[in-house]
Amino acid sequence: MKICYIANSASSHTVKWVNYFASLGNDVHVISHSNVPIKGAKVHYINYSLKNYPLMVHKVHKLIRNINPDVLHAHQVNTCGLYATSLKGYKTIVSAWGSDILVAPKKSFIMKKIVQYVLKHSYFITSDSHYMSEAIIKLGGNKSKILTFPMGVENDLLNFKHEYNFTNKEIHILSYRRLEKLYNIDIIIKGFSKALKKHQNLYLDIAANGSEFNNLNMLVKSLNIQDHVNFLGAFTRKDLGNMLINNDIFISIPSSDSTSVSLLESMGCGLFPVVSNLPSNLEWVTNYKNGIVLNSIDENNVYNSIDWCIKNYDFLPTASKTNMKIIREKALWENNSKIIENLYNKLCQ
């Protein structure tokens, strides 16, 4: 089977899809606006975007025709989805990732129209949460064409299981969402700083990169908490398992999100999650049962959640077992990838 993805080859999500379907012996191509190779696939770099769509659309379409794939699959509904669905003659699959459905259509009338066009002309649409599927339907997506399932956690990561150490008085907290305003890392730092005034043995690891790094680094210095905050930067999949098991609490409080793979990964490895009150998070986390859901995104709620975790540290292993069970039953990439594999085979018949 020849598969062509219109996707960002620099994204770990794209790499996950490519690695799986290439491992099955498929001929995988990626038309990417990032010039980043992926092992096992042929990456075709074209500097396409929404802004240069009139100039680049014919080039992208010509390349798709030359590849002549059995399956055409775009990742993200806006840019990549538009380039894919505007080419006629293919039963195009489009995967929604979150902000393309939950944020972009609210930013401008034009973005909303682009998203609605892509949804209308998609043969199938994949969504990683019921909340996002409902949003897709409200934007005009055909309910019968939507496949809802989380991307899921890869089996090798589940070999890493966090053990809570009752003899070690240190509490380690992890954030590994991108360093962008959407993810409210500054609020995490401020809440952590407040908690640190009460509990001295707290440590915060902040992984990933982003445009807010300099601002966040200056914030940490201004609060004089450099000895307790560690910026890890970019990390590989090989780093991820060790990074997870070395922390007790996972915190992710974006203003908007669909099902976060990082949330599923952290739960699968036994961390206790602290998340923002978003419908997609509520599909996985029950407040004070297997995690904490913040009522609102502010530093006092972050402080209170950390304080609760410290006071109820002996409960965290129980929640850890619950979370690992949830992920193994509902969110394994090995199982959920079969849904798309079956769809690909169906389209090729």
Q: Are residues 131 and 217 in the same domain?
A: no
220 and 77 in one domain? no
Where residue 247 sits, what CATH number does that domain have? 3.40.50.2000
The helix-helix angle for 237-245 and 261-268 (nearest 10°) equals 50
Residue 73, SS3? strand
Q: Per this entry, what is the length of the chain? A: 349
Q: Are residues 46 and 35 in the same domain?
A: yes
> What range does the domain containing 337 cover?
2-151+333-348
Residue of 99, 116, 59 lying closest to 83 (CA atoms): 59
User: What local confidence, expressed as pLDDT, does residue 166 receive?
Assistant: 73
- DSSP state at residue 323: H
- The residue ranges of DSSP E strands in the chain, in sequence order, are 2-6, 27-32, 42-45, 71-75, 93-95, 124-127, 146-148, 171-175, 202-207, 229-233, 249-252, 272-276, 292-294
Does one domain contain both 170 and 303? yes
Per-residue pLDDT of 252-293, as tens digits, reads 999 998 889 999 999 999 999 999 999 999 999 999 999 999
Q: What is the model's pLDDT at position 17?
A: 94
Distance CA(244)–CA(261), nearest Å, equals: 13
**pLDDT attached to residue 151:** 85
SS3 109: helix
pLDDT value of position 58? 97
Amino acid at 157: L
Place of tokens 């090989």: 238
- Pair (189, 87) in one structural domain: no
The pLDDT score that the predictor gives to residue 264 is: 96
Q: Are residues 165 and 234 in the same domain?
A: yes
User: Can you tell me whether residue 147 is helix, strand or coil?
Assistant: strand
Residues 176 and 305 in one domain: yes
Domain count, the chain: 2
> Do 232 and 108 have their domain in common?
no
Per-residue pLDDT of the chain (349 residues; tens, 9 = 90+): 999 999 999 998 899 999 999 999 999 999 999 999 999 999 999 999 999 999 999 999 999 999 999 999 999 999 999 999 999 999 999 999 888 999 889 989 999 999 999 999 999 999 999 999 999 999 999 999 999 998 889 888 999 999 998 777 799 999 999 999 999 999 999 999 999 999 999 999 999 999 999 999 999 999 999 999 999 999 987 899 999 999 999 999 999 988 899 999 999 999 999 999 999 999 999 999 999 999 999 999 999 999 999 999 999 999 999 999 999 999 999 888 999 999 999 998 8
Q: Tell me the C-alpha distance between 142 and 130, whole Å.
A: 14
On whether both 114 and 186 belong to a single domain, the answer is: no
Residue ranges of E strands in 71-137: 71-75, 93-95, 124-127
> 184 and 273 share a domain?
yes
Residues 112, 162: one domain?
no
Residues 67 and 165 in one domain: no
